[in-house]
Amino acid sequence: MEIHALWLVQHLLFALWVNGLLTIGLAGAQQGVICNESLMLQNLPLCGKSFQEMMHKVDSSKWCNLTEFILYYNNFTLCTEDKAATAKCFWPNPIAEGFITGIHKQFFSNCTSKKVHWEDPPDKILITLIFIPVLLTIAMIGLVVWCSKRNDILV
Ligand SMILES: *[C@@H]1O[C@H](CO)[C@@H](O)[C@H](O)[C@H]1NC(C)=O
Ligand SMILES: *[C@@H]1O[C@H](CO)[C@@H](O)[C@H](O)[C@H]1NC(C)=O
Ligand SMILES: *[C@@H]1O[C@H](CO)[C@@H](O)[C@H](O)[C@H]1NC(C)=O
Ligand SMILES: *[C@@H]1O[C@H](CO)[C@@H](O)[C@H](O)[C@H]1NC(C)=O
């Protein structure tokens, strides 16, 4: 169990979650608009492309080091939000999430298997402390997605 990787995932998910709540709050004010999924699908790859270009400037041995790419990642997140908003879609939404997950796989899939600098043996309590927020965050994302789906139906 790689604590470093869990920590990374947790922070990425948390960032998604906070942004999601903010966007849902904002989106509530502009209900009645219809999400143009094809427009969003068409524009999301632009975000992926610029993120890829920026990540390639970072040494790939540092791809698991959040401090090295948090700025780029934040930029990428803002970009996906922007594309969703342009298409009048809620963010996060299943399509954007699928896209972001794909990007994660591309860059962070090796973070669990790579030898991460971690000297102390994993501590049970530490793992628990990290896991609880991760599970909570996943649950909250599920809730947010569910709510936004409901909103889509209701609109
Ligand atoms: C959705 O976006 C596509 C691609 O830009 C566009 O061709 C289409 O007219 C849009 N649909 C609506 C309902 O706005
Ligand atoms: C991650 O990158 C930062 C900034 O370059 C560096 O200070 C830190 O030691 C790195 N951490 C690890 C675990 O490599
Ligand atoms: C964020 O992305 C935009 C366009 O993709 C780019 O112009 C800008 O320099 C980026 N900012 C950072 C901090 O990488
Ligand atoms: C992950 O590791 C495999 C095998 O070492 C390598 O081919 C692949 O390019 C790596 N992917 C990333 C994102 O570092």
**What is the mean predicted confidence (pLDDT) over 89-108?**
90
Distance 31 CA to ligand 4 centre (A): 43
| Residue pLDDT, tens place only, 37-47 | 999 999 999 99
Question: What residue ranges line ligand 1, CB within 6 angstroms?
Answer: 36, 38-39, 42
**Residue 30 predicted with pLDDT over 60:** no
* pTM, entire model: 0.60
Architecture of 36-111 per CATH? Orthogonal Bundle (1.10)
154 has a pLDDT exceeding 60: no
- CA 10 to chain CA centroid, Å, is 10
Most informative mutation of 11, 61, 65 for ligand 2 (most atoms within 8 A of CB): 65
| Tokens describing residue 6 | 């869990």
114 pLDDT tier (thresholds 50, 70, 90): very low
Domain ranges of the chain: 1-32, 36-111
CA quadruple 119, 123, 129, 130: dihedral sign: positive
* b/e per residue 71-89 (b: at least 16 CB within 10 A): ebbeebbebbbebbbebeb
Mean per-residue pLDDT for 58-66? 86
